[in-house]
Amino acid sequence: MKHRRVILIMALFALISVLPAAAGGRNENTVGAETRQGEGVQEKNFVELRLDYCRYNNQLLENIIQKFNITGGNIKIIPNKYESLDDQTQSRRLTEILSGDGPDLLTEIYYDRLLNNHKAVTSGVYYDMSDYFDNDKEIAEMDFFYPVIDNGVYDGKRLFITYLFKVPGVVTSLEIIKKYNVPISEELWSWEQMQDIVDWYLKSDKKDEVFLFDYYFNRLISSSFYDKYIDYDKQETMFDSMESLEYLKFIKRIQPLARPFDMDERHSIWLYITEERSLFSGFPQVAGVRWQQVIHDLSKKDGYSIDILPIPVPGEEKKFLYVPDETIGISSSCKNKEAAFAFIKYLLRTDVFGNPDYNSLTDIPVNRAAYRILTDHQQKDRIRLTPLPDRLLEKEEEILDNLAPLPIFDRQAALLIRKYAQQYFDGEISVDEAVKSMKDAVDLYLGE
């Protein structure tokens, strides 16, 4: 009898241990129509959607969510702020997403993406929102920056949308250009024209006086284009193509021409411009209202005639690099996808970012009309700011009209490629060995 009791207790213990795992307990706050009851609050049916975002996303998203929750009818976004991007947090988030218990809306920051490779993105984590996007009349009338709006389209499926982006580039001043007789036209440069400047610099005696580039520019140029040589559809790599070889050789050539990283200076372009530390200095943005303010300040304080140049894309005739900074997509396990898309649509609306409250926005909204409102407001704010010269406004417009389709973002492939590229830059292996190793490694990755 005693035995039986003990066995029964042990069996119950075992059952209790197994059941939660077997049930795969779903987070009840995630989705679904729920009734919100509170002190004195009238009962109302809400569709609650969970959205996770990192505190590094600043207050922007939080403000937008607050506004949406007031005006969004029966849809309520439940923001869930996580504090850090450390491995433990990311691992927990990933587990939640894969088990179907993750957020309904997946937001990502470009440089710290959780779903950071092509395979993860296309694994089925994201819901294909093409039908919602393509058949929405309001969206059809919106004016977007292309190809930024299509950045999250993989194999015909619209998996995520980039709602904010950056255009990195270089800054210089007309004074520096004149002083050092840099043979550069007033137009935006192509990849070949940039190479010509490098050739000029190497032949000139200027290299004893001033660096050509800086660390940040070097990093942008060295890391932005490797993915161009991967064809995900055919599962092939083209690292042994002439263009790829030339690209690698060029990057190796410019390594010693860039001023090394200095922790104290970061992106303080005042130092670069006023102290002439390099002829061209990389900067995270050469477009956008925040950038315009920087130029206003520079021109106003020091009287410098700032010039901007984007990052040209190799193999393209005057196409320029952009970075999709913040993206949003619908989780495939979201129960109310229509409501989730309503929030994404809200993020794309002209009046959301086209609001003078965002006159210090670091990024550029993907809605072109919204950006125009911000720029116009900035130009009219003459009391606080000096108007931007027309030549810079025209340049910015031209850059934004000629953004290159971004190669598929794939951190894993990039890591493999950079490993061998670095060995080549350091002189450990030849360019042919580097290319072969890149091909072998990325082919393995693609074939998995």
Partner 1 sequence: MKPRTKEAVSALFFILPSLTGFIILFAFPFIKSIGYCFTTGVGRLHYAGFSNFTGLFSSSSYILAVKNTIRFNIIAVPLIMLIPFFLALMLVRPFKGRSFFHTIFIIPLVIPVASVVKVWDIAFRNDGAINKIFLALDIPTVAWMESSASVLVLVLLYLWKNIGYNVILFQAGLAGIAKEYYEAARIDGAGRIRCLTSVTIPMIKPAAFFVFIISIINAFKVFREAYVLEGRYPDKNIYLLQHFMNNNFINLNYQRLSTAALVMFLVIYLLVFLLFRVEKSFDGT
Q: Which residues bind partner 1 (CB under 8 A)?
A: 3, 6-7, 10-11, 13-14, 17-18, 21-22, 94, 97-102, 115, 117, 119-120, 123-125, 331-333, 412, 416, 428-429, 433, 437, 440-441, 443-448
Minimum CB separation of residue 55 from partner 1 in Å reads 25
- Bridge-partner residues for 160, per DSSP? 329
Q: Which residue has the tokens 């920056």?
A: 145
Could you tell me which residues come within 8 angstroms of residue 77 by beta carbon, excluding any fewer than 6 positions away?
49, 51, 65, 68, 69, 105, 343
Q: Is the dihedral angle over the CA atoms 213, 219, 222, 224 positive or is it negative?
A: negative
Of the pair 21, 41, the CB lying nearest partner 1 is at: 21
Where does residue 40 fall: left (phi above 0), alpha (psi -120 to 50 degrees), or beta otherwise? left
Look up residue 120 and give its two tokens: 């993860």
Q: Which amino acid is at 76?
A: K
Give the DSSP letter string of 361-397.
Answer: -SSEESBHHHHHHHHHHHHH-TTTSPPPPHHHHHHHH
Minimum CB separation of residue 308 from partner 1 in Å reads 38
Of the pair 173, 331, the CB lying nearest partner 1 is at: 331
Minimum CB separation of residue 101 from partner 1 in Å reads 8
Minimum CB separation of residue 442 from partner 1 in Å reads 8
Q: Can you say how many angstroms the Cα of residue 397 is from the centroid of all Cα atoms in its chain?
A: 20
Minimum CB separation of residue 234 from partner 1 in Å reads 12
Of the pair 121, 373, the CB lying nearest partner 1 is at: 121
Of the pair 336, 350, the CB lying nearest partner 1 is at: 336
Of the pair 131, 376, the CB lying nearest partner 1 is at: 131
Minimum CB separation of residue 437 from partner 1 in Å reads 6
Q: What angle is formed at CA 411 by the lines to CA 410 and CA 413, rounded to 5 degrees?
A: 70
Of the pair 14, 174, the CB lying nearest partner 1 is at: 14
